Amino acid sequence: RIWFSALVDGLKGVFSITPEGVVTRLTPEDAWFDFGSPFGIQEDGTVLSSYCSMEFPTELVAIRPNGTFSSLHTRTSTSSLS
């Protein structure tokens, strides 16, 4: 399989294509986010990518084979420079 991102109806989704030419959309059609190019595939089929919207900046995301996704963003505390 080859994983890639492409624009469809003004939104960027993540897709895969088999050697036989079968294209499958991994991201939900109703997800109003722009997903970046996949940069990693985990053993369970989870695709690692980025996503953003008009409401938040680019974040890392895990897209599971069933089409659900979750942000990989973790908040860290910053120390003062005193």
pLDDT band at residue 5, thresholds of 50, 70 and 90? very high
Cα separation, 38 vs 40, whole angstroms: 6
Predicted pLDDT of residue 78:
42
**Which strand ranges, in their side-by-side order, compose the sheet holding 23-25?**
2-8, 11-17, 23-25
Q: Write the CB contacts of 78 (distance below 8 Å, at least 6 apart in sequence).
A: none
Predicted pLDDT of residue 14:
93
Assess contact for 7 and 15: CB atoms under 8 A: no
pTM of this structure: 0.78
